[in-house]
Amino acid sequence: MSKISLKNLTKKYGSVTAVDGINLDVVKGEFLTLLGPSGCGKTTTLRMIAGLEEPTSGELYSNDKVLFSKKRVCTFPLRCGISDLCFKVTPSGLI
Ligand SMILES: Nc1ncnc2c1ncn2[C@@H]1O[C@H](COP(=O)(O)OP(=O)(O)OP(=O)(O)O)[C@@H](O)[C@H]1O
Ligand SMILES: [Mg+2]
């Protein structure tokens, strides 16, 4: 089953914690709304899922492929803490 998984995903901007360890699974066909007060991290969460923002820590998966992790090697890149073997992905991007 297709899904997107966020595991303890965190984003910090300096001393500001924009997203604090969110855990979430979204499966294919599921309709999800992020609801919360201004500044709680909705946009930052979506930007991390879209690959527009690099998480500070945690893990992000699409169909069990690692999109982001500082602990595990990515099978397909967005960004990864460890260089990808096929695409030469580094935390700063493609080389
Ligand atoms: N590029 C950035 N640099 C520094 N701080 C940021 C940046 N983007 C977001 N933040 C901070 O991270 C926190 C979460 O912001 P975010 O935009 O994700 O909230 P939001 O839930 O989408 O808010 P809103 O409902 O107003 O759209 C806020 O404290 C915000 O000021
Ligand atoms: Mg927003």
- The answer to whether 57 and 10 are in contact (CB under 8 A) is yes
* Ligand 1, atom 12: closest residue by C-alpha: 18
Average pLDDT, the chain: 83
What digits encode the pLDDT tens for the residues 47-58?
999 999 999 999
What digits encode the pLDDT tens for the residues 22-62?
999 999 999 999 999 999 999 999 999 999 999 999 999 99
Cβ–ligand 1 contact at 26 (below 6 Å): no
Boundaries of every domain in the chain = 3-94
What kind of fold does domain 3-94 have according to CATH? Rossmann fold (3.40.50)
| Cα–Cα nearest to 56, from 22, 25, 95 | 22
Between 17 and 80, whose confidence is greater? Answer: 17
Work out which ligand 1 atom sits closest to the CA atom of 37.
Answer: 25
